[in-house]
Amino acid sequence: MRYVKFSVMATLMLALMGQASAQVVDASKPMSIAELAVYQGPDRQAKLIEGAKKESGLSVYHVYPALTNIMNEFGKKYNIKVKSWRAGSEAVLQRVTSENRGNKFDVDIVQNNAPENEAAFREKLLQEVKSPYHNDLLPQAVPAHKQWVGITVDIWTAAYNTEKIKKEDLPKSYKDLLDPKWKGQLGIEGNNHAWFGALMGKMGEEEGQKLFANIANTNGISNRKGHSLLTMMVSSGEVPLALTVYSWNPEQLKVKGAPVEGLALQPLMAQPSTIAMLKKAPNPYTALLFYDYMLTEGQKQLHDLKFVPTSKKFELPFPKVPLNFIDPAMALDQQAKWFKMFEDTVIKRSK
């Protein structure tokens, strides 16, 4: 009986040894993009650098203008040629989607808002990546499917002109904007339906819509396109108080001496801005090298540019104010509803 047990155990051991040997042989072969993207070996960095030397460079589609500076620093560090194309979030998503349908695979990395890259995930355009640096990030920056990752947090805040509005006169809540003193003073970014829909969810849809309709009817809300443009209008005094800019917009202008300051009206809504590797990236080693770079050195560079990095090493602005992260999947599923709600409640009443 003991002999039989030993024979069975010996057979199992030999089988396992054979499997291990086969795995060693398989590991020596060139990795597929999927295998490389989830590789966690201690030589990951060295493997990516060596592989990138044999590729043609890095191609990135992006929405952040400032990402160009970081890409240039990456290119200098690794002696890699970088080419990029920048447009709005919808245009970037449309180009990636249409090129894939046309079997054109020229882009390695796409940087976009979380809902747009979530849409690209649903279209099966993206590659799951397991980076050793994921654990350094806010949990909201790493979705379960790991097919995009947050590099910054876009926090919607108000912003005011410090020469036009005294600190003691600032609103403490959205309800304060019903005061007649705000007549002709307010502005909003015209594409913020996700912010508005999620905000209504926190405030209560019926109550929230009624409040914003009353604000628009009573005091008017001017409609502007572009968060950076709206912030510049605040700094010039054309729009004394903007309701929806990104928290980093005023900070970037303050460096240049602009009289503008952010204001955290609650509930404070946020979503990640993300990067993703394309499933058919032509330069996978370089793409992953840049991916890891954006989660390490890139985080410090983003912080220095006044963005809000997703790395837990950096303190969030308004640290005592809770952040309400918008679920990117919900933003997609509710897009039509939220768009109509924002249009009917605010945009059509804008003055």
As a CATH number, domain 33-153+272-304 is 3.40.190.10
Catalogue the E-assigned strands of the chain. 58-62, 82-86, 109-113, 149-161, 186-189, 222-224, 241-246, 260-263, 268-277, 323-325
Domain 154-270+322-349 superfamily per CATH: Periplasmic binding protein-like II (3.40.190.10)
Taking the C-alpha atoms of residue 57 and residue 36, their distance in angstroms, rounded to an integer, is: 17
- Confirm whether 33-153+272-304 and 154-270+322-349 share one CATH topology: yes
Q: Are the CB atoms for 19 and 267 separated by under 8 Å?
A: no
Q: Report pTM.
A: 0.88
pLDDT, tens digit only, all 351 positions of the chain: 343 343 444 444 444 444 433 333 344 577 899 999 999 999 999 999 999 999 999 999 999 988 999 999 999 999 999 999 999 999 999 999 999 999 999 999 999 999 999 999 999 999 999 999 999 999 999 999 999 999 999 999 999 999 999 999 999 999 999 999 999 999 999 999 999 999 999 999 999 999 999 999 999 999 999 999 999 999 999 999 999 999 999 999 999 999 999 999 999 999 999 999 999 999 999 999 999 999 999 999 999 999 999 999 999 998 889 999 999 999 999 999 999 999 999 999 886
Look at residue 107 and give its three-state secondary structure.
Answer: coil
Can you give the residue ranges of every domain in the chain?
A: 33-153+272-304, 154-270+322-349
